Amino acid sequence: MLAITEITTWHWVAFIGGVLVFVLLDLFVFHRGAHAITFKDALMWTTICFVLAMLFGAGFVPLRGKEEALLFITGYIIELSLSMDNVFVIALIFGYFRVPSNFQHRVLFFGFINALIMRGTVIAVGTAIIARFHWVLYILAVFLVYSGIKMMFSKEEGVHPEKNPVIKLAQKAFPVSTHFDGAKFFTRINRRFALTPLALVLLMVETTDLVFAVDSIPAIFAVTTDPFIVFTSNIFAILGLRSLYFVLVGAIEYFRYLKVGLSLVLVFIGAKMLTESWIHIKVGWSLAAVAGIILMSIAASIIMVKREPLPEKLTSTEPSTE
């Protein structure tokens, strides 16, 4: 039996360094300059991110064993699934602010950098609290069940920047331009430093990610409390979120039941956490359950769309005058 490799500081440094190199190449080499992302390009990058995540998970097998490899993959699938709902909210934000398509990738890039820091901090604090107070997991479990039920019956509220405390604070602290200044987040109004609408969009995306992190991070704690697995699965999920957005945004109608699937995932994970002392569900079965719920919700959405009658073509019923 192979000895288990201990996760050290160098593993953390190597992972974070590798991720930063990847995203910097993405921004300054592959997507240099502001331009619209095509569906083909987005699909390619989504596939690359998914394959990299699977290869990273496979790397756990010789280093940490098959069990931790499954834990990573399960955590990644959960985080990626919950991130999909974030995609549609981001689409609403971009639509509300009328963000040109060639600026959207820039917003998502800087959103990822901030999410890397923010989620890393939340995960570090969360794992420290759980290590000291294990009973916190039961509070998180109840919260997940509540969030799942609430998500199932909640209605889409749209985008309301005027209700966002971060946006309100930014508008009080700085003047805000009424027009985009290219892909810049900052500009000058009468020689005064000012924010552009694109900066407000970035703040909205960041606060939205924070809200979704409140659900997604506790969800993965149901799978494992290992900080390295929790962090890496989170980062791989949001790393693929940027390209996944451009894949899904044009096919939102095919995911109308996704929210139902995500709510069931949250309820399942919360119930699993609450009953772990009496009923132990193996990691492989948990992965199958989560993936099955998401795939069935997408399949139900596609079937429903296919069953809807096509809009009738407008044809003239008047006789020709020729």
Q: In the beta sheet, which residues pair with residue 226?
A: none
The predicted model gives 97-115 an average pLDDT of 83
Q: Where are the domains of the chain?
A: 9-153+215-305
The predicted model gives 298-305 an average pLDDT of 85
| Contact between 167 and 204 (Cβ < 8 Å) | yes
Q: Which amino acid is at 158?
A: G
Can you read off the two tokens belonging to residue 105? 């990738």
Contact partners, residue 42, CB within 8 Å, separation at least 6: 243, 244, 245, 246, 247
Q: Indicate the average pLDDT of the chain.
A: 82
Determine whether 298 is exposed, middle or buried from the number of CB atoms within 10 Å of its CB (0-12, 13-18, 19+): middle
Sign of the dihedral through C-alpha 196, 112, 93, 247:
positive
Read off the pLDDT band of 277 (50, 70, 90). Answer: confident
DSSP per residue, 97-149: HT--HHHHHHHHHHHHHHHHHHHHHHHHHHHHHHHH-TTHHHHHHHHHHHHHH
pLDDT computed for residue 55 by the predictor: 94
The predicted model gives 152-161 an average pLDDT of 71
DSSP letter for 4, please: P
Can you read off the two tokens belonging to residue 96? 């509300």
Q: Note the pTM of the prediction, 2 decimals.
A: 0.81
Q: In angstroms, rounded to a whole number, what is the distance separating the alpha carbons of residues 307 and 32?
A: 42
Read off the pLDDT band of 22 (50, 70, 90). Answer: confident
Contact partners, residue 167, CB within 8 Å, separation at least 6: 161, 200, 203, 204, 207
Lookup result for tokens 């689409």: 91
Rg of the chain over Cα atoms, rounded to whole angstroms, equals 22
Q: Count the helix, strand and coil residues of the chain and give each as a percent rounded to the nearest 5.
A: 75, 5, 25
Q: In the beta sheet, which residues pair with residue 193?
A: 188
